[in-house]
Amino acid sequence: MLDAAEQFAAFQQDGSFLTDGPLEPPAPGQSSAQAHEAAFARWARRSFALGAEQTQKYLRVARTFTRADVVGKTLGIESLNQIALADPRLRPTLWTLAQDERLSSGALAEGRQSGRRVLRGERGDERGDLDAAVAATILAAQRRARRQERA
């Protein structure tokens, strides 16, 4: 999965996706960077039937992880994206939940959001309490996984 994400990001960065000729001039009020992004989005949709949100997941994963981060892991883009979105301090916990417990991306998302709220002090916990954030991440993810199993 990382190979695909890295290739995708390289195409975006170096412009090699421009197989139909040079980039069109920016539209009025549009920067050249915005024109580049719009052309890349059109290419991703045409070539791979990927919408903007899915395209951003691949790019985020490519920007966040190294080969060493993913070697030996068997996760899809949805789970990798949830881990990439997480505060770096919570990523090891999410890796464990994803890889060892095989939790879904939805369960990882719920855990990530719960841990983030604790780190921000939004749940009455002491702001930045990593142990409490890790515990909240695990609890919320496992709770969501149990709900999914019953559904």
Q: What angle do CA 78, 84, 86 make, to 5 degrees?
A: 110
| 72 DSSP assignment | T
pLDDT digits (tens, 9 = 90+) for 101-147: 999 999 999 999 999 999 998 866 666 799 999 999 999 999 999 99
11 — pLDDT class (breaks 50, 70, 90) = confident
CB 130 within 8 A of CB 89: yes
* pTM of the complete model: 0.83
pLDDT of residue 89: 96
Write the pLDDT tens digit of every residue in 12-70.
777 777 766 666 777 888 888 888 888 888 888 988 899 989 999 999 999 999 989 98
Question: Distance (Å, rounded) from C-alpha 109 to C-alpha 115?
Answer: 10
Radius of gyration of the chain (CA): 18
Residue 2 pLDDT exceeds 80: no
Structure confidence by residue, pLDDT tens digits, 73-112:
899 999 999 999 999 999 999 999 999 999 999 999 999 9
Query: What pLDDT score does 63 carry?
Result: 92
